Structure formats: structure tokens, C-alpha cells
Structure 1
Amino acid sequence: MALLVFLVLLICGNAANGQFERMFQQNIMDKPPDTGKILIQSELKTETLEMPEDCAKKAITGDSLVFDYEVLLNGKVVEDSHNTGEEGATEKQPLMVVTGKGAVIPGLEFGVLGMCVGEKRKVIIPPHLAFGEKGVPGVIPENAEVTFVVTLLEIIPKSWGEWYVDIVWSACYLAFIGGIFVLMAQGIQEKRKALRREAKKAQRYRE
């Protein structure tokens, strides 16, 4: 049984390995130091600036979202889709946010959930949900409140491959937990059998 549990984990790890590599390659910004904290969405200040008439589909966790964006500090734009800070960049470079992956600061990742294509939203993010105590040298100062003004251009739903990875990992997790319980049950059963054997031996000695 232990060998079976090991094989299940090995298969699951191989199935998801490529997906994890792609996930980390998609990081757009360095993760801030406080991404491990529990995110409370009430700490974000959001304001809808423009709303399209048709809002049938809203962004959910797992979607890839494409934005025009502006980053503001104290009301001043420090970066936007036209000025990403990359040398030689002349064309507009929209921002892609892969939600649920931790690929961008948590305040932005959670602040854009529920948006519709064509919606423009302002998200004011406190320091611990933005770039934290260190900031971004030369761009974002330490402990800075950051404002993003984003316009959602496109929602790219989670692909079948990503759904497959999620399903595989869920199945692996359940199989692993089930395997542990089976091993525990087998151990208890073996102990009971051993106790019964010892009891029979003791009874024969008494006779």
C-alpha cells in the first residue's frame, strides 16, 4: 500500500511539473515580502470609473486578464501601458494578470476580480498588499500606498490543460489522504491481530 501511495504521488508530480514551470515563468513583478499574509479584500479601496452596458461575464480566479493600466503614487503616474520602464519599448504593452497564481502583488490580483471587459476601475492598495517595506528601488518608495487604474481588455478563461492539472492535483490530494487512512487502518488491524494471537498463546499456556 505504501508503494501505491508513492507511485500516485510520483505520477501526480510528473503531470503537474510542466504547469508549475510555466506558472513561475509568467511572473510579471517580484513577489512582495508580505504575500504570505491573509488577504482581506475590505482593505482595498476600489472605484468603478467606467462600466460597459454588457457585463455578462466577470473575471474569476483562474482567468488570465489583459489590462491597460496606470500606476500612480500620490496622484502622479509613475508607469503605464505606454511607459513600462523597458528600454526601447515604444508600443503599448498591456499587463496580463494570471489570477490565483500569485504572479502580481496581492492587492492587484484580488482588486481586479469581478471586472467585466471594458470596465475601468481604480484600485487603491495599502503598502502591505502592494510592494511592502522595500518598495521598488527607483520607482516605488518604501511603505507606499499604490493606486492602479486598470481597464480590462480581455478575459482569457482557464485552459483545459490548467483545469486538467487542477483536477489531477485534487485527485492526488484525495488519493494521498485516503492512502494515509488506509495505512492507519491496516496498522490498527495488524495490532489487533497481534493482540489476539498473544491472547490465544497466553490462553494455551494457562490450559
Structure 2
Amino acid sequence: MAKLLLSIVFATTILLSASAKKSGDVKELQIGVKHKPETCSIQAHKGDRIKVHYRGSLTDGKVFDSSYERGDPIEFELGSGQVIKGWDQGLLGMCVGEKRKLKIPSKLGYGDQGSPPTIPGGATLIFEAELVAVNGEPSVGDSDL
């Protein structure tokens, strides 16, 4: 009886610690708009070539990558699978100059394998993203017109 009770306490402790460790994890993509320009003259659609500044972190706050620190936004074709699925989905419809916070579940990120050594398997990813340009067109406020 004592062994059974000890086993139950041990199993409960393991489950609670695993649950606490994963408390910031999400099951579905979450999109939060942090800033939207007054006018939205250019939006990102599937097949567009877009430039995005971003900061990626884990749920514990540890930053694993940042284009801001490099001073060089990433450029890719939206919806073509060049980036993780969470980006292809989470940046659709974004206006040039808009800023979003994406909480991306592992299934739309790097999955169970992660991206060692910086991103563990099963990790929820948090991105602060800013759409800089679509098909080479910056926001109206950024142009030299």
C-alpha cells in the first residue's frame, strides 16, 4: 500500500512539473495585432514576396533569433513553405507597417524535433513581427514620394 501511495505521489509530481513547464504552450495559432497603420494600402497575400522584421522567443522569454539585432529583415514568398507554417498563416492579410505577436504551437513551428540547439522539441514559439514591405513596396510613410 505504501508503494502504491508513493507511486501515485511521484506520478502526480511529474505531471504537475511537466504541466508547469508547458504553461505558456498553445495548441492553436494565436495572432495579436500590436499596431495597425491608419491606412492599409498594401496587404500581404499568398504568393507575395514580403520583408519582415522579427524577434523570436520561447515561452520562458529566451530570445533565440532577431532580425532587429542584425538590422536585416527576412525576405521570403508568403505561403510557399519557405518558413514555418505558423508564419505562412500568421502573416496573411498583414498590412505594411503592421506589428503582430504570434504564438505558434509546435505543430506549426519546428514540431517534436525542434531546431537544436536553440529550440527544443515541442516548443511553442512567440514572434513579434513587423511587415516592412510587400513585393518591394514599403509603407507609404517609408517611401520617398
TM-score computed with the length of structure 1 as normaliser: 0.50
Deviation at 1:146, TM superposition (A): 0.4
Alignment of structure 1 residues 130-149 onto 2, 5 Å: 130-149=109-128
Residue in structure 1 matched with residue 45 of structure 2 by the alignment: 60
Residue in structure 2 matched with residue 124 of structure 1 by the alignment: 103
Deviation at 1:64, TM superposition (A): 1.0
Structure 1 residue corresponding to 2:62, chosen from 51, 76, 88: 76
Structure 1: runs of 5 or more not aligned: 1-41, 84-90, 158-207
Instruction: Return the alpha-carbon distance in structure 2 between the equivalents of residues 117 and 124 of structure 1.
Output: 20
* Percentage identity across paired residues of the two chains: 39
CA 1:82 to 1:151, structure 2 compared with 1: closer, same or farther past 3 Å?
closer
Instruction: Return the alpha-carbon distance in structure 2 between the equivalents of residues 82 and 46 of structure 1.
Output: 20
Instruction: Return the alpha-carbon distance in structure 1 between the equivalents of residues 112 and 85 of structure 2.
Output: 15
Instruction: Return the alpha-carbon distance in structure 2 between the equivalents of residues 97 and 48 of structure 1.
Output: 21
Instruction: Return the alpha-carbon distance in structure 2 between the equivalents of residues 115 and 82 of structure 1.
Output: 19
Instruction: Return the alpha-carbon distance in structure 2 between the equivalents of residues 53 and 76 of structure 1.
Output: 32
Name the SS for the 1:109 alignment partner: helix
Instruction: Return the alpha-carbon distance in structure 2 between the equivalents of residues 139 and 95 of structure 1.
Output: 19
Q: Match for 1:50: what amino acid?
A: H
Residue in structure 2 matched with residue 109 of structure 1 by the alignment: 88
Is 1:152 matched up with 2:131? yes
Instruction: Return the alpha-carbon distance in structure 1 between the equivalents of residues 68 and 127 of structure 2.
Output: 14
Q: Which runs of 4+ in 1 moved over 6 A?
A: none
TM-score computed with the length of structure 2 as normaliser: 0.70
Instruction: Return the alpha-carbon distance in structure 2 between the equivalents of residues 49 and 118 of structure 1.
Output: 11
Name the SS for the 1:101 alignment partner: coil
- 1:172-196 CA-partner distances (Å, limit 9, x unpaired): xxxxxxxxxxxxxxxxxxxxxxxxx
